[in-house]
Amino acid sequence: MYPNAPQISNDPSSPFLIKKDDDLDLKVIIFKYLQYWPWIIGFALIGIIGGYLVNKYSTPIYRVEGTVLIKDETPAFGADLFANGGFGRDYSNIDDEIGILKSYSLAEATVQQMDLNVQYFLEGFVKTTQIYGNTSIFVNLDKTKPMLVGGMFRLEVLNEDSFELSIIEQGFSIFDPKDPFNRRGRELVELSRSVYSFDEPIQIDSFEFSVSRISALPGDQIFFRFLDDPSIAHEMRGQLSVAPLERYSSILTLSMQTPLRKLGEDYLNQLVKTYLQRELNEKNRATENTISFISDQLRGITDSLQYSEGRLQQYRSENKIFNLSEEGSAIFGRLQELETRRSEVDLNLKYYRSLQSYIANNGVGELVAPSMVGVSDPLLNALVQNLSNLQADKQRLMANFSEETPVVKDILTRIESATRALQENVNSAIRNTESLLADLNGQIRTIEREISTLPETERNLIGIQRQFTINENIYIYLLQKKAEAEITLAANLPKNVVLDKAKTVGQVGPKRTQNLLFGLIIGLIIPIGIITVKDYLNTKIEDPKELEKTIKVPLIGMIGRSYSEGTLPVFNNSRSSVTESFRSLRADLSYLSPKRENLSILFTSTVSGEGKTFVSMNMASVFALMGKKTILVGLDLRKPRIAQDFGLTNDKGMSTCLSSDSPWQDVVKPSGYENLDVILSGPIPPNPAELLLQEKFGKIINEIKDAYDVVIFDCPPVGLVSETKELFNYADISFFVFRQGYSMKGHSDVLNNLVEKGGIKKIYGVLNDVHIDKGYGYGYGYGYGYGYGGSSYGYHEERKPVAWWKRAIGKRQS
């Protein structure tokens, strides 16, 4: 028996049952792929070479970084009183600042400050590379007019004065900066001529540009195309990453990955510059509003001051009076003090009413800080600053989010709460100011009654001088406040600070090791995948282990491919591995049948060509070599082959006996080898099935069994003819022959049906023509060498080895 042969059940009612091993044999799977190792290694090398070429010719990608320190604003006095009320401001604004830096509006403002509307390219041996900065030409265009974007132009320098221009890539569209979201496609673009002069205007419809020569030489070729600011802004915004340097850190790292290091550095630096300028503009807005408010007041008071000054000079000149009496000076001093106080209160009242109008009209960006106009109420200052900050936050967030997002809804709720609180405070301040103003007016009226007791000339002088002094004090006060506001405006700086300007920190692509590894993996996956698919789609029986699991009877033996001349290797080459496989099968028969003296064996298959005749002939030969009186009976009456293999004439045989009264002894022919006789099938009859089903056939077979020690039946394929099923009854042991690389996998169902539905007993499987090594070769127990294969011990004939490249494409030994 074979070392790993299936264990046959001892239950006589189920003689064909075997014990199956369903465990996955890892060694077999590995061997299945390793037999194609040249292909696997070849594809792996191709994959590695592919990864190397990707590394060599891919455009390098660089990482550019810069850092910004975000400083939290210090809340105004009293601002913390409103935080718990729901309308205060959260001063931890890192997320807001990240949103601003990544906003489209900031990206667009940055791009508008840079000259990025023309992209330049140079054509290399393998690829076309974009260049930035150090270009040999410069394309001039007016961004305020419609632009022709999307396509590609080629410029070839002819000489120092002219160049040839052509279109090499279509896909143009018209971009109008006045209507940026409405692009009009323009596929057919033609140039009026091909040769132009440097600095000459080139007109394409309403789009106009010119080309200036910087350092281009004759023969140079430069490619360029036009892009609009929104497209560039979207692209640059998508490449930008903003994140805190560390968790809870106020330092933000701005980075982007780009093939153009200089472009990345310039963009990040300009982005931060635009960001800080925007912050400064927002910070200056309140101061500018204060200056505007004071200027409006000054324009009104200047005319009154000039008029009152003129009247005072005229009155003094006409009445020859320049100074007041001691009593008049005392009264005028008290009146002047009250008038100055009333002017300040009146200015505060105007400011409160402007705030009230702002709140009523839902104004944005027009708040004036109370402290800038002399209002010293700390609570009001805190409320105004809170509302101003919240309005600024709203503008920032609305640039990136819609009103439906939670963060915008939250800021709108805070603005509404802060506005209500400010409105209540302003209404209260107006009432208090009006009351104070009424009190001052009462005091002034009392002093005016005292003035009425003075002489008329002095009384009139006091009136004129009073008006002049009031206007003068207000004018000086407003000038002082305006100067303070202008000093504040000039001294304003962004609260955030640039820590590190943008610089290239390293190359991030191509990832050389990863590309090589990826190429190796792809190189391994392709051949392994092809082998797997090829194996999966293969409908032929190649794997003995798979066949053993498929059939419901034991796989008793495997017959290797015969490399000897002729079809009788047992006689022609007794030292071959094929001969040894037949000897081994003969030895196993002693375990399969209790009969030791007389034995009848039947061989069949599913279809013709699977080698049942070859197996039956050589099986008869090994019994003859053993000294057993053996006869080979050819029962394939439709397609006989035994005669030509033994060099006999098929003039008479079994069909002769069955169709006439000739005894079977008359059709027995010597094979030419000792102890082996042959009964050929004979001339092909018109009714082979009916002949084999006669009672006479059974008598002949019984007589043959009595006359010979071993009877071998070579039967027709059971999958093609019907009479074979009846012949199983005449054999002690039956063998179903499969052929490696030839029999279909579905042929195992034919054998299984014979066992399950046909009730055939004592039938076993044999795999013939084993030549495809599936990992079951020498030493595993199923190989046709059985430990004697190749040149292991010199028991079998030497076979010429096959070159590795032939084995790789499927050729084996010869």
pLDDT at 418: 85
What lies within 8 Å, CB to CB, of 735 at 6+ separation is 556, 601, 602, 603, 604, 615, 763, 764, 765, 766
The long-range contacts involving 439-445, CB below 8 angstroms and separated by at least 24 positions, are 440/338, 440/341, 440/342, 440/345, 441/342, 443/338, 444/335, 444/338, 444/339, 444/342
Per residue, what are the HEC states of 128-181?
EEEECCCCCEEEEECCCCCEEECCEEEEEECCCCEEEEEEEECCEEEEECCEEE
Taking 3-state DSSP, the helix, strand and coil percentages for the chain, each rounded to the nearest 5, stand at: 45, 20, 35
Range with lowest mean pLDDT among 128-142, 204-218, 455-469: 455-469
Choice between 735 and 338, residue whose per-residue pLDDT is larger: 735
Q: What is the residue extent of each domain of the chain?
A: 117-226, 276-500, 538-808
pLDDT at 320: 53
**pLDDT of 758 over the 60 cut:** yes
Retrieve residue 59's tokens: 């455009």
**pLDDT of 597 over the 90 cut:** no
Reported as a single tens digit per residue, the pLDDT across 390-413 is 877 777 677 666 777 887 888 888
pLDDT confidence bin for 793, thresholds 50/70/90: very low
CA 293 to chain centre: 57
pLDDT at 282: 79
pLDDT confidence bin for 27, thresholds 50/70/90: confident
**Positive or negative: CA dihedral 427, 429, 432, 436:** negative
pLDDT at 798: 42
Stretch 794-810: mean pLDDT? 51
pLDDT confidence bin for 765, thresholds 50/70/90: very high
What is the domain class of 538-808 according to CATH?
alpha beta
For the chain, what is the mean pLDDT? 81
Euclidean distance between CA atoms 367 and 283, whole angstroms: 12
pLDDT at 185: 65
Reported as a single tens digit per residue, the pLDDT across 741-753 is 999 999 999 999 9
Per residue, what are the HEC states of 17-63?
CECCCCCCCHHHHHHHHHCCHHHHHHHHHHHHHHHHHHHHHCCCEEE
**pLDDT of 480 over the 50 cut:** yes
3-state secondary structure of 196: strand
pLDDT confidence bin for 80, thresholds 50/70/90: very low
DSSP conformational letter for 744? B
Euclidean distance between CA atoms 180 and 146, whole angstroms: 10
pLDDT confidence bin for 524, thresholds 50/70/90: very high
**H helix intervals, 565-670:** 569-572, 577-592, 612-625, 642-646, 654-659
Reported as a single tens digit per residue, the pLDDT across 421-467 is 888 888 888 888 888 888 888 887 887 776 665 666 666 666 677 67
Retrieve residue 412's tokens: 């709108």
Stretch 712-716: mean pLDDT? 92
pLDDT at 782: 41
pLDDT at 349: 84
pLDDT at 337: 79
| Beta-strand relationship, 668-670 and 630-634 | unpaired
Range with lowest mean pLDDT among 122-126, 496-500, 630-634: 122-126
Stretch 318-323: mean pLDDT? 57
pLDDT at 679: 94
Retrieve residue 259's tokens: 């093939």
Range with lowest mean pLDDT among 361-365, 378-382, 495-499, 782-786: 782-786
Reported as a single tens digit per residue, the pLDDT across 149-164 is 988 999 999 999 999 9
pLDDT confidence bin for 777, thresholds 50/70/90: very low
Stretch 795-805: mean pLDDT? 51
Euclidean distance between CA atoms 546 and 108, whole angstroms: 67
Q: How many beta carbons lie within 10 A of that of residue 273, not counting itself?
A: 13
Euclidean distance between CA atoms 59 and 100, whole angstroms: 31
Q: Cα separations (Å) of 612 from 49, 307, 322, 559, 713?
A: 51, 135, 149, 11, 10
CA 98 to chain centre: 26
Choice between 270 and 774, residue whose per-residue pLDDT is larger: 270
**pLDDT of 31 over the 50 cut:** yes
Under a CB-based contact definition with an 8 Å cutoff, are residues 774 and 544 in contact? yes
Euclidean distance between CA atoms 457 and 415, whole angstroms: 59
Q: How many beta carbons lie within 10 A of that of residue 401, not counting itself?
A: 16
Choose among 372, 377, 67: nearest CA to 246: 67
CA 175 to chain centre: 32
Stretch 234-247: mean pLDDT? 93
Retrieve residue 800's tokens: 């010429």
The full DSSP string for 456-513 is HHHHHHHHHHHHHHHHHHHHHHHHHHHHHHHHHHHH---SSEEEEEEEEEEEEES-HH
**pLDDT of 792 over the 50 cut:** no
Helix 326-360 vs helix 406-451: angle between axes, to the nearest 10 degrees?
160
3-state secondary structure of 215: coil
Choose among 570, 625, 626, 623: nearest CA to 600: 623
**pLDDT of 4 over the 50 cut:** no
Range with lowest mean pLDDT among 511-520, 585-594, 701-710: 585-594
Residue owning tokens 């290399």: 124
pLDDT at 190: 77
pLDDT confidence bin for 563, thresholds 50/70/90: confident
**pLDDT of 740 over the 90 cut:** yes
The full DSSP string for 94-136 is HHHHHHHHT-HHHHHHHHHTS--SEEEEEE-SS-EEEE-SS-S
Stretch 262-289: mean pLDDT? 89
Largest CA distance in the chain: 180
**Positive or negative: CA dihedral 517, 523, 527, 529:** positive
Range with lowest mean pLDDT among 79-88, 174-183, 184-193: 79-88
Helix 378-398 vs helix 261-319: angle between axes, to the nearest 10 degrees?
140
Number of helical H runs and strand E runs in the chain: 22, 24
pLDDT confidence bin for 281, thresholds 50/70/90: confident
pLDDT at 62: 95
Euclidean distance between CA atoms 422 and 381, whole angstroms: 10
